[in-house]
Amino acid sequence: MVERFIATGIEFESVDMEVEHGNQYRIFSSIDKWKRLQYPPGTVVVVISSDSGYRPILRSLRESGFRTVNFSKPDWYKVLDLGPRLDPRQYGFAPILEEGRTVVRIPNGPSALAVKEAAWGLARYAVISQERKLMHNLRQYTVPLQRYMALMDLQERNERLFYKLLIDNVEELLPVVYTPTIGEACQKYGTIFRKPQGLYISLKEKGKILEVLKNWPQRGIQVIVVTDGERILGLGNLGCQGVGIPVGKLSLYTALGGIRPSACLPITIDVGTNNQKLLDDEFYIGLKQRRATGQEYSDFLHEFMRAVKQNYGEKVLVQFEDFANHNAFDLLSKYMDTHLVFNDDIQGTAPVVLAGLIAAQKVLGKSLADNTFLFLGAGEAGTGIAELIALKIPKETGAPIEETRKKIWLVNSKVYCLAANKNFLILFNFNLS
C-alpha cells in the first residue's frame, strides 16, 4: 500500500483550506477535516505544533493505528534539514513529506532550483535565482497580453515572488500589469479567463451583499478598489470584464505603496452591460442583461456601501474606479461625509497635474492666475483638474473663485466649449472644496 503523508497543524493562514497535489499528497488546515475523509490506518500524520492541546489527539490517532510525527513550531524545519530559508511558515503552508526523504516541494514556496545545499540530491544541482529564471521566461513572450497572463498565473501561484518581480522590474512590468496592456486584457477577459479574481457582486446578490463580503477570507481589509465596469479606461462599457482594473490597481498599491496584499480587496459590481457585443459573446462571464439604472442602481450601490462599512469598519478606504462620469461624481458627493471614499480619476489625477503646473511657473516666470486654461475633455479627470486649479489660484491672489473660473474652459466630446463656472460643476453635483 502506498502511504499518504498528511501535514496538518496551525501554520495555515486560511481556515479550512485544502490543496491537492496530485493523487498522493494532501494538506489540511485541521485534523478534523482530515479525519472526515477517513484515510486508512498506516497513514502518517505530521502535526506542526507545540500546543499541548494536540497531545490527546495524537494519542488517539496512534491508538487507531496511525503513525504520528510531532514538531514544535520553532524547530520543525531544522528537524527536516530544510534550513530556515525554506521555512514554509513564510508561505502559509506546511511541508509535504515522503517516506525516507524530504520532498523539495512547498506550495507557494521556492522552486527546486532555489534550494539550499542540504537538499541537493533531491533537486537539480545548479542553483538559479527564481527571479532571473522567470524574467527570462517572461521576455520570451513577444505579445504583451501573453506576459500579462503569465504574471497573473504567477500571482495566483506565488504572490510573494510576483511582487518581488514587480518591485525589482517596475519600469518593464508596470505597462504589463496595468496600462496599456490591462485594457486589452479587460476586452478579452472572457476568453483568457482562468480563475476568479477578487470579489464579484451582482444584482442577484441584492439583499445579501453583506453575506457576500463575509465570504472573503481576509478580515483586515484596509483598501477596496471597486468598479462597475461602465467606463473602463477609454474603452467604454466592459461590464464585469473590468475586473482587471481593480486587480491591477491594487497590485500597484502593494508594489509601489507597500500595502499588504492581504489588506487589499478588488471588487467588481455587476449590474449588467449595455455593450451588445458582450451580451452576444458566449464567453462573457457577467450578467447578460441591460444595465440597471436610476433608483435600482442607486439602491444597490447604497446597500454595498452600507455593507462595506458594517463589515470592515469606517476606516476602510473605498476607491471608486472607472465609473461613468454621472455616477462617479454622484457617488463621491453622496458618501464623502459618511465613508472614506476616493476617486483616482477625479481626485488622484488633479493633484499630479497641479503639481506640474506649479513647478512650471518657475520656468515660465508666470503665476497660475496669468494663464487661461483649456481642457480637451470634460470628463472626470478634466473637471477634477479644472476645479483644483480654480481652488488654488484664489489662495495665491485672493481673488474670488468665480473670477478664477472665468479663465478655465473645457471642450467635451461633442466639441461644446464649457466654462468652468459654478453651474457647470453643479451639473455633476460635486465640488472639491
Active site residues: 178, 249
Helices H, strands E: what count in the chain? 18, 15
Residue 123 CB partners (closer than 8 Å, separation 6+): 104, 112, 113, 115
Cα angle value 389/393/394 (rounded, 5°): 125
Secondary structure of residue 70 in the 3-state scheme: strand
Amino acid 79 reads V
Set of cell numbers at residue 125? 544541482
Angle between helices 325-335 and 380-397 (to 10 degrees): 50
8 Å CB contact between 234 and 328: no
Torsion of CA 396, 398, 402, 403, to 10 degrees: -80
Distance, in Å, from the CA atom of 54 to the CA atom of 76, rounded to the nearest integer, reads 15
Tell me how far apart the alpha carbons of residues 137 and 128 are, in angstroms, rounded to a whole number: 13
